[in-house]
Structure 1
C-alpha cells in the first residue's frame, strides 16, 4: 500500500515539474491577432503576456474607434492564448496523473 502511495506521490511530483516546464515553454509561444481589416495587430504569449501592439496611423485620428478596435482584438487574442495555454497544461497534467479509482478528473 505504501509503495503504491509513494509511487503516486513521485508521479505527481514529476507531473508538477512537467507542468512548470510547460508554463515556461508557453512564454515563447506567440499568438498573433489582427483586426478584421488589419489596422490593428497584437502579439502575446500563450501565457497571456503582451509582446507588441501595432496600430495603423489612421486609427489614431478617432479615439473611440481605436478603443473599440483594441477591445475586440485584445479579447480575441486573449481567448486564443487561453485556449492554447489550457490545452497544453491539461495535456501534461492528464498524461502524468496516476490512475486513482473513482478519481476520473480528466474525461
Structure 2
C-alpha cells in the first residue's frame, strides 16, 4: 500500500509540474494574446494607413497587420465609448476620411 501511495504522489507531482511548464514556439512578431484569448493590437504595424483614404479593404488590411480582433474608423465628430479594448484598432480620420492617426483601444 505505501508503494502505491508513493507512486500516486509522484505521478501527481509530475502532472502538476508539467502544467506549469511553458514552451515558446511563436516568433516575436506574433500578436500577443490577452487574458481573454484575443490578440492584443499593435498600432505601429498599421501606421502604413496614415495619409490613405478610408475604405473597408484598408481597414481589414490594417486590422490583420496589427493583429487586432476588431477595427474601426473614427471620424472627427463620431461619438465613441470610453472603454479600452487592447484587441481593437482605431483609425482616426479627418473630415475627408483620410487616416490621420492610428491607435489601439
Tell me whether the two structures share a fold, i.e. TM-score over 0.5.
no
The structure in which a higher percent of residues are helix is 1
Find the structure with the greater CA-based Rg: 2
